[in-house]
Chains A and B, each alone.
Chain A
Amino acid sequence: GEFPAPVEEAPVPGVTDDEVVLGTHTSLTGPVAVYSQIALAINAYFEYVNETKGGVNGRTIKFLIEDDGYSPPKTVDLVRKLVEEDRIFALVNGFGTPTHLQVVDYLQENGVPDLFVATGATEWVKDPEARPMVFGSIPNYVGEGIILGQHIAETYPGLKLGLMSQNDDFGADGMTGIRRGVGDALDIVGEETHEVLDVDLASQVDRLHAAGVDVIAIWATPQHFATAVKHARLNLNWDVPFVLSLVSANELTVLLAGPEVIEGTVSLGYLKSAFEIDDPDVAKHHKLVQDYMGGENGNTLTLYGQYIGELVEESLRRAGRDLTREGLIEAAESITDFWCSICLGPVNTSPTDHDPVQGGFLVRAEGGRWVRFGDLVTYEGVLPGDMMVEDLTR
Chain B
Amino acid sequence: MFLVAFPFLHEWPFFRLFLGEYRTFNATMFAVWLLVLLGMNLLTGYSGQVSFGHAALVLASAYLTAVLSQQYGFPLWGAIGLSGAATAIVGWVTIGIPAVRLRGPYLAIATFGLMLAFPQILKLNVLTQWTQGALGIRGGVVEPPGFLGDVLDGREWMYYVAMSMAVVMTVLFLNLTRSRTGRAFVALRDSEVGAEQMGVDVPKYKALAFGVSSLYAGIGGGLFFAVQGFVSPDSLGLIDSIFFLVAIVIGGLGSVLGSIVGALFLTFQSEAISALAGFVPGANNLRNVFYGASLIAVIVLFPKGIAGFFQRPLWPKLRGWNLGRLWSSRS
Verify whether A and B have any Cβ pair under 8 Å. yes
**A144 contacts the other chain (CB 8 A):** no
Partner of B240, one of A29, A73, A123, A169: A73
**B327 contacts the other chain (CB 8 A):** no
Chain A residue nearest in CB terms to B282? A294
Contacts of A72 in B (CB 8 A): 232, 234-236
Partner of A101, one of B136, B140, B239: B136
CB distance from A301 to the nearest CB of B (A): 15
Q: Interface on chain B toward A: helix, strand, loop, or mixed SS?
A: helix
B270–A74 touching, CB < 8 Å = yes
Q: A77-B29, A109-B141 are in contact. Are A1 and B134 (CB under 8 A)?
A: no
B25–A67 touching, CB < 8 Å = no
Q: How far is the CA of A69 from the CA of B134 in the complex (A)?
A: 19
Q: Mark A73-109, 1 if CB is under 8 A from B, else 0.
A: 1101110110111000000000000100110011001
CB distance from A25 to the nearest CB of B (A): 10
A105–B270 touching, CB < 8 Å = no
**A195 contacts the other chain (CB 8 A):** yes
Partner of A102, one of B12, B20, B232, B273: B232
**B94 contacts the other chain (CB 8 A):** no
Partner of A76, one of B20, B228, B271, B288: B228
Q: How far is the CA of A140 from the CA of B140 in the complex (A)?
A: 25
Q: How far is the CA of A102 from the CA of B119 in the complex (A)?
A: 16
**B302 contacts the other chain (CB 8 A):** no
**A199 contacts the other chain (CB 8 A):** no
A172–B134 touching, CB < 8 Å = yes
**B325 contacts the other chain (CB 8 A):** no
A29–B22 touching, CB < 8 Å = no
B11–A1 touching, CB < 8 Å = yes
B22–A123 touching, CB < 8 Å = no
Chain A residue nearest in CB terms to B235? A72
Chain A residue nearest in CB terms to B270? A74
CB distance from A28 to the nearest CB of B (A): 5
Q: A28-B287, A80-B22, A102-B232 are in contact. Are A3 and B11 (CB under 8 A)?
A: yes
Contacts of B271 in A (CB 8 A): 77-78, 81
Chain A residues 241 to 256 lying within 8 A of chain B, measured CB to CB, are: none
Q: How far is the CA of A1 from the CA of B235 in the complex (A)?
A: 32
A73–B228 touching, CB < 8 Å = yes
**B123 contacts the other chain (CB 8 A):** yes
Chain A residues 22 to 38 lying within 8 A of chain B, measured CB to CB, are: 28-29, 36
Contacts of B22 in A (CB 8 A): 80-81, 83-85
Q: Mark B113-127, 1 if CB is under 8 A from A, else 0.
A: 000100110010000
Partner of A84, one of B20, B123, B274, B288: B20
Contacts of B229 in A (CB 8 A): 105-106
**A260 contacts the other chain (CB 8 A):** no
Chain A residues 186 to 235 lying within 8 A of chain B, measured CB to CB, are: 195, 197
**A66 contacts the other chain (CB 8 A):** yes
**B237 contacts the other chain (CB 8 A):** yes
Contacts of B233 in A (CB 8 A): 98, 168
B287–A29 touching, CB < 8 Å = yes
Contacts of A29 in B (CB 8 A): 287-288, 291
Chain A residue nearest in CB terms to B154? A109
B284–A169 touching, CB < 8 Å = no
Q: A28-B284, A73-B235 are in contact. Are A1 and B8 (CB under 8 A)?
A: yes
Q: How large is the interface on B (under 10, 10 to 19, 20 to 34, 35 or more residues)?
A: 35 or more
Partner of A73, one of B119, B123, B236: B236
Chain B residue nearest in CB terms to A39? B284
**B181 contacts the other chain (CB 8 A):** no
Q: Mark A267-300, 1 if CB is under 8 A from B, else 0.
A: 0000000000000000000000000001000000
B287–A71 touching, CB < 8 Å = no
Q: A77-B29, A77-B270 are in contact. Are A168 and B13 (CB under 8 A)?
A: no
Contacts of A80 in B (CB 8 A): 22, 25
Q: Mark A157-187, 1 if CB is under 8 A from B, else 0.
A: 0000000000111001000000000000000
Chain B residue nearest in CB terms to A169? B134
Q: How far is the CA of A73 from the CA of B243 in the complex (A)?
A: 12
A101–B135 touching, CB < 8 Å = yes
B13–A78 touching, CB < 8 Å = no
B20–A168 touching, CB < 8 Å = no
**A6 contacts the other chain (CB 8 A):** yes
Most buried by B among A65, A73, A84, A85: A73
Chain A residue nearest in CB terms to B234? A98
**B21 contacts the other chain (CB 8 A):** yes
23 A–B pairs (Cβ distance < 8 Å), ordered by A: A1-B11, A2-B11, A28-B284, A29-B287, A71-B239, A72-B234, A73-B29, A74-B269, A74-B270, A77-B267, A77-B271, A80-B25, A81-B271, A84-B20, A84-B21, A102-B232, A102-B235, A105-B229, A106-B229, A168-B134, A168-B234, A172-B134, A197-B116
6 A-B pairs with least C-beta separation:
A98-B234, A84-B22, A168-B134, A85-B22, A85-B20, A1-B11
A-side residues, CB < 8 A to B, are 1-3, 5-6, 28-29, 36, 40, 65-69, 71-74, 76-78, 80-81, 83-85, 98, 101-102, 105-106, 109, 123, 167-169, 172, 195, 197, 294
Beyond A36-B284, A102-B232, A169-B134, 10 additional pairs, beta carbon < 8 A:
A6-B16, A67-B270, A74-B269, A76-B29, A81-B271, A85-B20, A85-B21, A98-B234, A123-B135, A168-B123
